[in-house]
Amino acid sequence: MDTVKYILSEDKMPTAWYNIQADLPTSMPPVLNPGTGKQITAADLEPLFPKQLIEQEISQQPTFEIPDEVQSIYRQWRPTPLYRARRLEKALDTPAKIYYKYEGVSPAGSHKPNTAIPQAYYNKKAGVKRLTTETGVGQWGSSLSLAGAFFGLEIVVYMVKVSYRQKPYRRALMEAYGARVVASPSDETEAGRSILKEHPDSNGSLGIAISEAVEMAVQDEQTKYALGSVLNHVLLHQTVIGLEALAQLEMAGDYPDIIVGCTGGGSNFAGIAFPFLGAMLRGERDRRKFVAVEPAACPTLTKGKYTYDFGDTAHLTPLVKMHTLGSSFVPQGIHAGGLRYHGMSPLLSHIVNLGLIETKAYGQIDCFAAGLNFASTEGILPAPEANHAVKGAIDEALRCKEEGVSKTILFNLCGIAFGSTSSFKKMLDANSLFGS
Ligand SMILES: *Cc1c(COP(=O)(O)O)cnc(C)c1O
């Protein structure tokens, strides 16, 4: 029988996250306090995050146990299925085997609840009452809103204004979970007001929304801030994806030669890739190919500089060394809103700089065409962000066909398209360009 999906039972779900910092040949460059130019301390981060998340942020210990309460919520949708893309393989007429890990089965439709749940859990345990955050298209905002509902935390979401207007269904989902959603830039914060003074028609950006959320969090003892990507602890939580995939590929009797993911802030890519990269770094496996795919309209890894920069537009965050297009960069309004961040995870940037990962940038029309190809063969309409991973995987499969080699490709299907009517329309336009 040709197995299509590999299902782990709930009792086989990983019980610890994997921290790749333990296996890296050199450690990450320090995070700097912009005021003093000195390395920041854990205490500097305490107005923003609870102690246990700060510990996960800076620790070199190889694993962190997943708390029982988090595991029991994870089990609502985890372990997620691993699929063999048999019809896509056939359509491409490739000798390659293509597997995808499907994170679209979470209640928010993406990988983001994997970190929203533990972040809300640790904040609740620390006595925090309210979390502020930013969101682009609303994937992260809805994931944190979901987590807030589970743990009884108040959630305030600064949503990039262009998406606030374009994605009313995402806003409705956040409000259904009990969150308050504010179009950013707003007049609620210094940062927002100063942007609006100069650019009253500003569409907003993730950098601006982060400034607003951080500003609100530091002003109040009982309020903290949550970030949906970029930070080490976020990447740590997402490793549950790759750890499950390792076990599922073992069920399939396979091991990937090529691992592909899309990169906005780096978290879903890290989630699928780090457990496999760790095995390589520890010498348990030969060198593998890792491919991080980003949009040509926001080419952080392929065109950005690897340098110290701020994480936000108003320069309220510490200085981190990362691949960046500059903290004032405002990308075009492409539909993959989750990939429009000016920077990149410092941990992933460090690993790219070590030469362990290849990077690629694709235009959005090519990615939508790949997503439609995937939808018509596998039946799942990927999120605009996930289309980039689909495109990356298809290109690798076509290369296998050209070279006549059978490789095993694994990619992360990090989210499903929904609540984004304008994206569907764009996909149809892309189809008419490529279809006939
Ligand atoms: C947020 C998001 C991304 C981008 O964030 P990463 O941290 O790079 O994963 C990608 N895909 C989906 C579906 C998202 O919701």
pLDDT tens readout for residues 239-294 = 999 999 999 999 999 999 999 999 999 999 999 999 999 999 999 999 999 999 99
Find the CATH number of the domain harbouring 90: 3.40.50.1100
The predicted pLDDT at position 423 comes to 58
Residue 313 has pLDDT above 90, yes or no: no
User: What is the tally of structural domains in the chain?
Assistant: 1
314 within some domain? yes
305 within some domain? yes
220 within some domain? no
CB neighbours of residue 272 within 10 Å: 32
Measured in Å, residue 261 CA sits from the centre of ligand 1 at 10
Is the CB of residue 267 below 6 angstroms from any atom belonging to ligand 1?
yes
Instruction: Give the structural domain span for 85.
Output: 71-109+233-434
Is the CB of residue 119 below 6 angstroms from any atom belonging to ligand 1?
no
Number of Cα atoms under 13 Å in the Cβ half of residue 257 = 10
Q: Which among 81, 92, 94, 6 has a CA at the least distance from the CA of 374?
A: 92
Is the CB of residue 264 below 6 angstroms from any atom belonging to ligand 1?
yes
Q: What percent of the chain has pLDDT over 70?
A: 95
Give 389 or 417, the one with higher predicted confidence.
389
Residue-wise pLDDT tens digits, 142-163: 999 999 999 999 999 999 998 8
The predicted pLDDT at position 434 comes to 43
Round to whole Å and give the CA distance between 74 and 71: 5
329 within some domain? yes
Task: Identify the residue whose C-alpha is closest to ligand 1 atom 15.
Answer: 139
The predicted pLDDT at position 435 comes to 36
The atom number, within ligand 1, closest to the CA of 109 reads 13
Angstrom CA distances, 197 to 185, 186, 200, 323, stand at 10, 11, 6, 30
Round to whole Å and give the CA distance between 391 and 427: 14
What's the pTM?
0.95
Residue-wise pLDDT tens digits, 368-399: 999 999 999 999 999 999 999 999 999 999 99
Measured in Å, residue 336 CA sits from the centre of ligand 1 at 9
Is the CB of residue 383 below 6 angstroms from any atom belonging to ligand 1?
yes
Residue-wise pLDDT tens digits, 319-374: 999 999 999 887 776 677 778 889 999 999 999 999 999 999 999 999 999 999 99
Look at the block and give the residue holding tokens 């065409």. Answer: 369
The atom number, within ligand 1, closest to the CA of 416 reads 13
341 within some domain? yes
Task: Identify the residue whose C-alpha is closest to ligand 1 atom 4.
Answer: 264
Round to whole Å and give the CA distance between 301 and 240: 24
116 within some domain? no
Residue-wise pLDDT tens digits, 160-177: 998 899 888 899 999 999
Choose one of 106, 114, 267, 342 to mutate for the ligand 1 pocket test, by most ligand atoms within 8 angstroms of C-beta: 267
Round to whole Å and give the CA distance between 68 and 192: 39
Is the CB of residue 414 below 6 angstroms from any atom belonging to ligand 1?
yes
Look at the block and give the residue holding tokens 């510990």. Answer: 55
Choose one of 110, 238, 301 to mutate for the ligand 1 pocket test, by most ligand atoms within 8 angstroms of C-beta: 110
338 within some domain? yes
Task: Identify the residue whose C-alpha is closest to ligand 1 atom 11.
Answer: 385
The predicted pLDDT at position 4 comes to 98
Is the CB of residue 386 below 6 angstroms from any atom belonging to ligand 1?
yes
Torsion angle of C-alpha atoms 283, 284, 288, 293, degrees rounded to 10: -90
The predicted pLDDT at position 340 comes to 80
Residue 428 has pLDDT above 70, yes or no: no
The atom number, within ligand 1, closest to the CA of 339 reads 4
21 within some domain? no
Residue-wise pLDDT tens digits, 39-87: 999 999 999 999 999 999 999 999 999 999 999 999 999 999 999 999 9
